[in-house]
Each structure stands twice: as C-alpha cells, then as structure tokens.
Amino acid sequence: MEVVIVAAPSEGARLVADAIVRLVRDQDEAVIGLATGSTPEGTYAELGLRVAGGSLDPDHVRGFLLDEYVGLPEGHPASYREVIRRQVVEPLGLHPARVCGPNGLADDLPLECRRYEAAIASAGGVDLQLLGIGTDGHIGFNEPGSSLSSRTRLKTLTASTRADNRRFFGEGDEVPSHVLTQGIGTILESSHLVLMAWGSEKAAAVAAAVEGPLRALVPASAIQLHPHATVVVDEGAAGSLELASYYREVWEAKPAWQGI
Ligand code: GLP
C-alpha cells in the first residue's frame, strides 16, 4: 500500500487526475469507479480542467458509481446519480450512457444488484476505483460489520452516516436509511484503489484503515488486502498515522514520472 501525504486536497486531486489521464492514455479506454461525497469533488473539477485542456478525452472514459440511496425520487438532487451528473457527466462532457449506477428505485432490488455486478463485469471491471472514507470507516456504503467479501447489495445506514450526510439534503428532507452499494469484494476486484481523505475528522478512520487490524468493524481496512492501493491524505487526515514520516520519505524518493 502506498500512502501519499499532500499539503492540500488540491494537490491530491491533481495527483489522482494525473493517474486517470495516464490510464486513459496507456490503455485507450478507462473504467473509473466513481465515489460521491465531498472528498472526490476536487478530483472531478481537476478532470474537467484536463478535458478542457485537451489531455483527457471523455469518449475514452466510462464510469460506475459506488453506491446509491434507495427510494429517492428520480432527479432528487442528493441522489448519487444526480450528484455524478452534476459533478462528472456534465462538466466532463461524458455521454450519459457511459456512466452507470445501481438503480435505487428498482422494484426488485436483489435483481438490480446482480444486474449491476454483471454490468461492471461486462465492462471488463473497474480500472481505477476512487474511494472516500466515512468517519466510521465505511467505504462505499459498506458500514461497520460488512462482510469483507460482500457483493453489491442492500444495506442499512448507521445513524452516524445518516447524520454525516444530512448536509446534502434539504431541510425537512429525510436521509434514506437504505442504500445499494458495491460490496467490499466488488471494490477489491478493481485494478487500482485510490482512497482519498481530507481533514482531521477523518484521521482516526484513516489510521484504523491503513494501520489497524483488518476487520469488519473497519470496512476500509479491507484495502490492506489489495495489491495496488493508494491512500492520498492531507496533513489533517494523516494526523494519526504512526508511520507518517516513513510514508513521506518513500514518496519523496519516488521518481515523479511514476505518479501514484
Ligand atoms: C458517503 C459515501 C462514501 C463517502 C463517504 C464520505 O456516505 N457513500 O462513498 O466516501 O460518505 O463522504 P465525504 O467525502 O463527504 O466525507
């Protein structure tokens, strides 16, 4: 696992955007796993700049969402499909058909989860999966207690995640209690995991994920099992890492052309 400590989220966003641009250049088409929440917003903005500058061709990018709320009406501004439409599809000029997400309005949710897994597989899998981390250590919407080999399925949010995500909903609007999320086993199948975290409120979760024991109580600790996982954190989110100075030393010695 590589841990990169950056001075500011904007520097992290540039590093991650560089990796995506390189991926598209090297293999002609790239499948990106799209996370939501505040954390990847800078990366999406940076990708928009790359498209505008001509270094990234959106016709060579496909996207799969990590997760979705169950039951939010079509077009609800907090639904992840809508968030990704606003932050990725439109600014990057992606054809909407190139981005898929689990349908939280499907009549048969287990069938929808199987359909989603099949769609990811038929795209050849995810090349680079963007991840944030919940303050309770979740990735996607895999809450503490999730099986480390889980597949896309229905989950119930914890009270703390619903409180954390309250800010994305309007006044009087309920945060749904149910979601569809790629499982941890699904996430681990992507070729490269890139977990980002900004701010000291994520420090405990980041330390538990990166340096703590592998356990269902900290779903993000599953990234320790992945052969190519990169954790990009700012100073605040790196605040509880025991090996921070070693991570800095490794990064400083790495040739710049290698990127993450
Ligand atoms: C949400 C999302 C996750 C995200 C996490 C952190 O619940 N399902 O994918 O990583 O919360 O969100 P934020 O980046 O806003 O801190």
User: Which tokens hold the place of 122?
Assistant: 């038929």
Residue 202's Cβ-count burial label (10 Å; 0-12, 13-18, 19+) is buried
Residue 258 has pLDDT above 90, yes or no: no
Pairing relationship of beta strands 128-131 and 30-34 according to DSSP bridges: parallel
Model-wide pTM > 0.85? yes
Distance of CA 71 to the CA centre of its chain: 22
Residue 28 has pLDDT above 90, yes or no: no
Q: What is the pLDDT of residue 257?
A: 86
Handedness of CA 17, 230, 133, 117 (dihedral sign): positive
Which domains, from first to last, does the chain contain? 2-258 (3.40.50.1360)
Q: What is the pLDDT of residue 172?
A: 87
What residues act catalytically?
Answer: 67, 136, 138, 143
Please say whether the beta carbons of 29 and 94 come within 8 A. Answer: no
CA-closest candidate to residue 35, choices 198, 158, 173? 198
**Per-residue pLDDT averaged across 10-20, rounded?**
98
Q: What is the pLDDT of residue 140?
A: 98
Ligand 1 atom at minimal distance to the Cα of residue 202: 16
Substitution site in 16, 32, 34, 36 for ligand 1 pocket (most atoms within 8 Å of beta carbon): 36
Ligand 1 atom at minimal distance to the Cα of residue 133: 10
Give per-residue pLDDT as tens, 103-155.
999 999 999 999 999 999 999 999 999 999 999 999 999 999 999 999 999 99
Residue 43's Cβ-count burial label (10 Å; 0-12, 13-18, 19+) is buried
Q: Whose CA is nearest to atom 13 of ligand 1?
A: 37
Distance 118 CA to ligand 1 centre (A): 24
